[in-house]
């Protein structure tokens, strides 16, 4: 569910694993899906459904929609998982289980963090710029989900500390909000002034993460800035891609969460609060 850039990469990985039958759930018919991966082009084979009313039960449900599309995904989950299928939620933010607990029992939700530079060039065409790394809880369901990718190029990290993994990714995403606000790709982070602001924004996010129990390196802001500066100058993060395409942006899950948790933990977040206000005003 959610065949955008990340959903398409997941589909390609599952196909190259060679043991999965794929059903792609989309709003409109998807005649083909080609993913240009670092290992070569993958044309995905799949059954395409466009209405929850015709969905049948499956072994796994994988949600890769935007965070604000959770209600739409919920209609599909009711049909696809009605016999107890676990639901893997591959989304931004730190509230995977909270977002879907209204649709499926929490003990059947597998939260997943993915780090993968990928861009949708057109419907049915995605460019995966680098390796897909998935962070998955190291429990029984997490291990079962990881097993679906055996034989693919996915890099799987099973972790006993998913909280820290999720907040580490949110720190990376917090920097991306600067690019989205400016309307400029990753090359903007090479500017000195923008680099200084980036460090401050990520530092706020890390302080909130530590307040809720995440273990984050003190030099994480510097690592995040280096990561963005090492991206191709024309690399576009998903928040910016949505703004450029005039789609809704995941501001609540990616920046709003920092502000909300900061308020609950009495950690000031003035820079992220400003970014949130400006992006929402757009």
The beta strand positions in 78-123, using DSSP E, are 87-90, 109-115, 118-122
- 223 belongs to the catalytic site: no
Please classify residue 122 by burial: count the beta carbons closer than 10 Å to its beta carbon, then call 0-12 exposed, 13-18 middle and 19+ buried: exposed
Q: What interhelical angle do 192-211 and 162-182 show, nearest 10? A: 150
The C-alpha angle 11, 16, 22, rounded to 5 degrees, equals 40
**Catalytic residue (one of 66, 78, 169, 184):** 169
Structure-block tokens of residue 88: 């893997």
Find, among 193, 239, 201, the residue nearest to 220 by Cα. Answer: 201
DSSP category for residue 153: S
Instruction: Compute the chain's Rg from CA coordinates.
Output: 18
CB-CB contact of 12 with 151 (8 Å):
no
Q: Is 126 helix (H, G, I), strand (E, B) or coil?
A: strand
Which tokens sit at 248? Answer: 């809704």
- Whose CA is closest to 2, among 60, 58, 67, 53? 67
Residues serving a catalytic function are 169
């Amino acid at each position: 569910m959610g065949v955008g850039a990340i959903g398409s990469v997941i589909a390609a990985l599952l196909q190259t694993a060679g043991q999965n039958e794929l059903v792609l759930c989309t709003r409109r018919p998807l005649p083909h899906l080609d993913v240009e991966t670092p290992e070569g082009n993958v044309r995905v084979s799949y059954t395409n459904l466009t209405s929850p009313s015709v969905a049948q039960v499956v072994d796994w449900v994988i949600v890769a929609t935007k965070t604000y599309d959770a209600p739409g995904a919920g209609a599909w989950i009711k049909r696809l998982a009605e016999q107890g299928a676990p639901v893997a939620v591959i989304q931004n933010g730190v509230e995977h289980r909270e977002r879907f607990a209204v649709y499926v029992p929490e003990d059947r939700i597998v939260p997943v963090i993915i780090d993968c530079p990928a861009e949708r060039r057109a419907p049915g065409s995605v460019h995966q710029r680098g390796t897909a790394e998935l962070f998955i809880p190291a429990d029984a369901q997490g291990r079962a989900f990881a097993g679906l990718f055996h034989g693919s190029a996915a890099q799987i990290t099973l972790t006993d500390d998913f909280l820290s993994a999720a907040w580490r990714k949110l720190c990376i995403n917090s920097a991306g909000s600067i690019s989205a606000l400016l309307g400029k790709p990753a090359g903007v982070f090479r500017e000195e002034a923008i680099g200084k602001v980036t460090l401050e924004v990520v530092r706020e996010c890390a302080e909130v993460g530590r307040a809720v129990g995440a273990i984050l390196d003190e030099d994480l802001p510097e690592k995040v800035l280096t990561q963005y500066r090492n991206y191709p100058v024309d690399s576009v993060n998903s928040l910016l891609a949505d703004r450029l395409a005039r789609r809704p942006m995941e501001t609540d899950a990616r920046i709003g969460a920092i502000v909300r948790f900061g308020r609950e933990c009495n950690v000031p977040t003035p820079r992220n609060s400003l970014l949130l206000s400006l992006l929402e005003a757009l």
